A and B are shown apart, each in its own frame.
Chain A
Amino acid sequence: MFGEEELVKVHKNRAGIIGNIMLACFGLILARLWYLQVYKGEQLHQFSIQNRLRKEVVWAPRGQIFSRDEQLLVDNIPRYDAIITPQYLLERDETIPRLEKILSLEPDTIQKLLKKNANQATYRPITVKKNIDFNELAQIESLNADLPGVSVQTFISREYKDKDVGAHLLGYISEISQDQLPKFKKRDSFDYRLGDFIGQFGVEEQLDRYLRGVNGHEFVEVDSRGRRKRYINTDNLFKGIEDENPTQGMNVRLTIDRDMQLAAYTALEGKVGSVVAIDIETGEILTMVSRPAFDPSQFSRGLNPEYWRSLITNKLNPLRDRNIQEHFSPGSTFKPVTGIMGLEENLVDEHSDVVCTGSLKFGRKAYHCWKKEGHGSTSMVKAIRESCNIYFQKTAMRTGIDTLAKYAHLLGLGKKTGIALPREVSGLIPTEEWKKKRFGEEWQPGETLSCSIGQSYVLTSTIQLAQAYAVIANGGKIYRPQLVKEIYNEKGEITQPFKPELVSDFKFKNPNTLRLVREGLYQVLNNQKGTAYYRRGKGLQMAGKTGTAQVVRASADKVYQKCDQMEYQYRHHGIFVAFAPYKNPKVAIAVLVEHGCSGSGAAAPVVEPVMTTYMKKYQPELYLENLELEKQMGTSIAPAAKVVPVDVDVD
């Protein structure tokens, strides 16, 4: 038997072994910790960051768009979407119906949505409802704890102050769709993401890279239930993880005048057509309105499918910008081109009168003047004033289509104006070569006659007509139409001033050319025999030309049929192009009213209020001068009721 103390001593050996085993065990632990914290530390550290930090996009506020007189046209407003992150969606049986109730969705909507997106990563948020209202927003935010996995995402959407007015010009932004993604990525060599907003129309599209700004990002801490809070990097735990503030997009000041826009829009009420006003000395676009239009705000707020369907099924195609995306026969508004050709080519002069008998036989075909009985002896000025077909046809007869085309081109017709807007059409000024290429046929001299009065193959757009008349008014200078006056940053520093861009400057050989043509145009509005005498307005001193373009090639009897008795789609287009003031031209305006029957009846009344707005606002002195002048001449009294004899309308 051992004594107690001896017993303890006997076991000392084992105690020592236990001590050593314990040391070994802790050695093992420390080795493991070394492995995790030092060997794999960096990697696990990254894991821990990714685990909780989510990089979220902070949308850059898009630049604002202003009118030339600095009135706000396009602004940003926040838009809220309700989203679900399936990863964090807990207690589905309760959460989903709760959310459906708040958003007043049909039961099962969300389940279906989840099923549809079942094969995407669960951390990817799914949009449940776009553009929720404030009530819904407030409910989601206050029930946050009972709605695990549900959150609200903020976007910036666009607000177009005047809604439909100038919609085509301003354009819209909308989300990049799946099929658009590769296209835009390639175009801008920028890594767009699905759901990024991008300008897809008008100025928004054309100036997208300026307006867009640079999105920032912020790091948001997300806990294991999906609750998020802003990560504040105060402790400098994670170097290199910094929020990045977005850079606001550039602001744009357009050349557009808001008041003229509104006047044009109002004047086009109930009509289908377009209005362009150009500053003849700079090429700046003052007005550009097309109707019917659409509300561009809708596109950045999650387009309502019904609204979209109503736009694309509308036969009048509200999405088309009739200023630049449509061309048509200019009709009589083309006659000054023929007139210029005649004078410049010395085919006619001030004194060479042509007798108009109401029709002209050429080859086997008879060409009719709109005035059955004819204009009689007709000079250049009279021909323009009264829109005599025969005068211009006889002039054109003496030369070929190519000469005519040369002058049309000099005025900018038949080619794109180069306005900074997408999808501009070029129109068409035919040549012999063109016809051969296009149809493989020889040019028929008779076709030159049709072309000389703006028919047959000749096609122009509204903006081209405005530009052509601007060239007549300014003496041969073609300016590229400008939409942007300047682009400036949020501090107001101009980063991109736009200067007038002279495309060509033609010097007329014949000093009488412009004088006679302008005189004729002036008399259209200011001579009692002029085709638009009753549309001259007050204080405008306009010079212009009416035009009526046949939509279908009409036989002779159709020409004389009353237009308003025809079916809508067969009615003539009404066109009116003018510049003012006559003595000191500043602005040119072109108006197209589709199926409006006549230029003087449908289009000229649109020009008048737009021009009046311009004169009052930008040329108040000239306006007063004009009023005074008209008083002296006794022509200022416009007819009390603008009831215009119908036959005057046909030109």
Chain B
Amino acid sequence: MYQSLVAYLKRYDFSFIGSFFAIFLVGVLNLYSATHSQTHDGLHMLYRSQIIWWLMATATAIIVSIIFNPKTFERVSYFAYGVTFFLLILVIIMGDVGMGAQRWLNFGPIRMQPSEFMKLGLAMALARYFSRVHPERELVLKDLIVPGLIAAIPAVMVIIQPDLGTGMLLLLIFSMVIFYKRLKWKTIISLIMAALVGGVLMYNFGLREYQRKRIHTFIDPYADAKGSGYNAIQSEIAIGSGRLFGKGFKNSSQASLQYLPENHTDFVFAIFNEEHGFFGSMFLVLLYLILFLRLIWLASSVQRFYDSVLVIGITGIFFWHTFINMSMVSGMMPIVGIPLPMMSYGGSAMMTYGVCIGMVTAISNSRNFFN
């Protein structure tokens, strides 16, 4: 018994949970630093709930990694997609309005954001689909119709909440998966062209005023420095003022004086930069890169194709969040509400990441166990 436990632990892949923990640790310290002075808003205790969320997410990850076999994931893929899809419909029907958008579902004390779960649901459904339907084939345009719908329908539902960021994210996850699934370069190019045209049309007809404003603001944040450009400018100031070494832990002036709104969610990266400077950010970026490259490596070293596609999907979830958040906070993208994985405050997201980490660990473990 003892020996088999030792043997199990030796084969257990701790790298993802370790990486999850490392980033969380940086994140929760940063969260504490960003909010410790906001006593009047009740935000100074936020880091505690974040720790609780992380504990729950880690527990979930461990449970998922131990009791589930990747084959189970494959079996429940469509079911999981279906459930989250149903929840998204519920949001439209009876969702709670918060921050001007209908994103939340309340089940008694539990308050959740189904669009978070949809990211994983989508990754699972796509993995399932692509591992069954002509898995060997290089994709052309017509192969994208069914998986395209699988991604686009929830994406549209999220966008109309309205949550443009998460909707786009679903499409980006989809793009990463189809790219992995060997979408032909010719098709890629034509899709990019179509996306450009679609983007222009979307901008003119499909976006709400505030979303359009964000794009304007992105192009010239200083045109409306006190209004909609405020966040962008303050964020850049926060980052830049960190310079090489940062102002030090708990010394973010932008945060403690609340020049940065939502500094516990979307703008944590700005606070981190202000306090730890360029070298600190390099360290953080490195932590993320280790996780992502490890995931990519895992995707190429599994035995089953479903696992491989799923890992790519999950990679997409982590990567796009991270990249978009960092880009928008540093002023390279318009400001959309995309949190930074493990760094931003948020329970639903943390739980989703916990499940993701559990699944990739299970996949990694299964690879070792069956070797």
Contact = CB atoms under 8 A, between A and B. Distances in A.
B300 A224 contact: no
Interface in B210-249: 234, 236-244, 247-248
Contact of B243 (A45, A47, A221, A223): A45
A51 B254 contact: yes
Given A15-B299, A221-B253, 14 more contacts: A11-B180, A15-B296, A16-B300, A18-B315, A22-B292, A22-B293, A29-B323, A30-B281, A34-B278, A43-B240, A51-B234, A222-B257, A225-B258, A235-B248
A612 B157 CA distance: 100
Interface string A27-49: 01110111011101111110111
B194 to A, nearest CB: 20
Contact of A29 (B176, B251, B303, B326): B326
Contacts of A8: 299-305, 308
Contacts of B242: 37, 41
Contacts of A19: 292-293, 296
Nearest to A222: B257
B241 A5 contact: no
B179 interface: yes
Given A28-B332, A52-B259, A4 B303 contact: yes
A26 B257 contact: no
B312 A15 contact: yes
Interface string A199-242: 00000000000000000000001111100000000010100000
Contacts of B292: 19, 22
B289 A36 contact: no
Contact of A33 (B278, B303, B319): B278
A325 B124 CA distance: 98
B60 to A, nearest CB: 26
Contact of B176 (A1, A11, A18, A32): A18
Nearest first, the 5 A-B pairs at minimum CB distance are: A44-B240, A48-B241, A41-B243, A223-B257, A7-B305
A14 B247 CA distance: 41
Contacts of B327: 28-29, 32
Interface string A235-265: 1010000000000000000000000000000
A32 B330 contact: yes
A585 B40 CA distance: 75
Contacts of A12: 300
B332 A32 contact: yes
A10 interface: yes
Given A38-B244, A42-B243, A14 B180 contact: yes
Contact of A45 (B241, B288, B303): B241
A446 B332 CA distance: 98
A2 interface: yes
A23 interface: yes
Contacts, number: 159
Interface string B313-339: 001000100010011001110000000
Contacts of A48: 237-238, 240-241, 253-254, 274
B243 A38 contact: yes
Contacts of B302: 8
A472 to B, nearest CB: 73
Contacts of B258: 223-225
Per DSSP, are chain A's interface residues mostly helix, strand or loop, or mixed?
helix
Contacts of A32: 327, 330-332
A35 to B, nearest CB: 9
Interface size class of A (residues with CB under 8 A): 35 or more
A143 interface: no
A25 interface: yes
B257 A4 contact: no
Nearest to A53: B253
Contacts of B278: 33-34, 37-38
Contacts of B281: 30, 33, 37
B273 interface: yes
A41 B241 contact: yes
A18 B293 CA distance: 9
A16 B312 CA distance: 11
Contact of A18 (B179, B237, B248): B179
B121 to A, nearest CB: 21
18 contacts: A2-B136, A16-B296, A16-B300, A17-B179, A18-B312, A19-B292, A29-B326, A29-B327, A30-B281, A32-B330, A32-B331, A32-B332, A37-B242, A40-B240, A43-B240, A45-B243, A48-B240, A224-B259
B135 interface: yes
A536 B259 CA distance: 79
Given A29-B285, A29-B326, A47 B240 contact: yes
A37 B239 contact: yes
A10 B303 CA distance: 12
B44 interface: no
B277 interface: yes
A49 to B, nearest CB: 8
Interface string A292-321: 000000000000000000000000000000
B330 A33 contact: yes
A340 to B, nearest CB: 78
Nearest to B277: A37
B182 interface: yes
Contacts of B36: none
Nearest to A48: B241
A32 B242 CA distance: 13
B51 to A, nearest CB: 27
Contacts of A33: 239, 273, 278, 281, 330
A333 B240 CA distance: 81
A51 B240 contact: no
A26 B301 CA distance: 24
A44 B237 contact: yes
Contact of A36 (B180, B247, B303, B330): B330
Query: Which of A1, A47, A222 has the most chain B CB atoms inside 10 A of its CB?
Result: A47
Given A18-B296, A26-B288, A29-B285, A11 B241 contact: no
A223 to B, nearest CB: 4
A36 B179 contact: no
A428 to B, nearest CB: 65
